[in-house]
């Protein structure tokens, strides 16, 4: 899956691809600025297919040819879908860094892009992936019981500092708890448990989506510690609609 492409020197390009075998790799592709180039159209971001080249451990890898190329056409055409898909790639890249991306996660990314391209809500798709990625980042929250007393029933909130649910008996343990609405917390717990195959059953109003995103942002910034730069563009897009 082609993640991004940038011009390199006068006639070439550097193309980042999420591969099954090697994870995220950047390839030098020759003559992409040449109108007669046979491979240029195959390395447009959000294309996918079979790519042949030379993978080097050190230095630049090279891409020579491509076949069976298809594209996530709606993602390419829609600026908002494009932004969410880019953010998704960046999240997964940051989570695994230079490590090989497990096949299950490669499949999850592909399935996420396919769902987004087919009209499923891009924010909900990415939010679900965000909740699952917390485990990969090493900060998986306890979404099953109170992190202090182990309670499983009653009123709950979320504590970033303590790493999970906080029941009302222990609200005092974190004065900076997120003060989430019960419905927002419900969807955070749901997103951390469901698979993408169940996403068709999730429908949310715009106000609820905003509250969920705000909560996930607080969890990421408080536990992972940062966001990829691509998230700022999504935030700007949301401000356009206010």
State the 10-residue block means of pLDDT for the chain, 242 residues long: 90 92 91 76 94 87 93 97 97 89 96 96 96 97 97 97 97 97 96 90 87 97 94 88 58
pLDDT score, position 241: 62
Give residue for tokens 């090493």.
Answer: 138
pTM here is 0.93
pLDDT score, position 60: 83
CATH superfamily of 74-240: Recombination protein O, C-terminal domain (1.20.1440.120)
How far apart are the C-alpha atoms of 1 and 110, rounded to whole Å?
8
Strands (E), 111-182: 156-159, 164-167
Task: Decide: 129 and 199 in contact? Cβ < 8 Å.
Answer: no
Q: 145: buried, middle or exposed (CB in 10 Å: 19+, 13-18, 0-12)?
A: middle
pLDDT score, position 31: 76
The two tokens of residue 160 are 């970033």
Give residue for tokens 């892009």.
Answer: 113
Q: Which helix (H) or strand (E) holds 46?
A: none
Look at domain 2-71 and name its CATH class.
Answer: mainly beta
pLDDT score, position 242: 54
pLDDT score, position 217: 97
Task: Decide: 227 and 93 in contact? Cβ < 8 Å.
Answer: no
SS3 30: coil
Give residue for tokens 């679900």.
Answer: 128
pLDDT score, position 163: 97
> Domains of the chain: which residue ranges?
2-71, 74-240
User: CA 144, 224, 130 angle in degrees (round to 5)?
Assistant: 60
């Amino acid at each position: 899956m082609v993640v991004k492409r940038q011009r390199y020197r006068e006639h070439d390009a550097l193309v980042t691809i999420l591969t099954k075998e090697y994870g995220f790799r950047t390839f030098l592709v020759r003559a992409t600025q040449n109108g007669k180039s046979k491979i240029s159209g195959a390395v447009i971001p959000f294309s996918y297919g079979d790519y042949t080249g030379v993978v080097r451990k050190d230095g630049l890898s090279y891409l020579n040819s491509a076949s069976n190329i298809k594209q996530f056409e709606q993602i390419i055409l829609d600026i908002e879908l494009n932004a969410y898909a880019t953010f998704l790639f960046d999240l997964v890249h940051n989570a695994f860094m230079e490590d090989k991306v497990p096949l299950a996660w490669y499949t999850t990314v592909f399935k996420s892009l396919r769902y987004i391209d087919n009209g499923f809500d891009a924010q909900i798709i990415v939010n679900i992936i965000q909740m699952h990625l917390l485990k990969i980042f090493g900060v998986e929250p306890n979404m099953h019981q109170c992190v202090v007393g182990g309670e499983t029933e009653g009123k709950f909130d979320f504590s970033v500092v303590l790493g999970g649910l906080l029941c009302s008996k222990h609200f005092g343990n974190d004065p900076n708890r997120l003060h989430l609405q019960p419905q927002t917390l419900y969807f955070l717990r749901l997103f951390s448990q469901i698979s993408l195959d169940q996403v068709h059953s999730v429908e949310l109003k715009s106000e609820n989506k905003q509250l969920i995103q705000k909560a996930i942002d607080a969890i990421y910034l408080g536990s992972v510690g940062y966001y990829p730069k691509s998230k700022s563009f999504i935030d700007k897009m949301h401000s356009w609609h206010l």
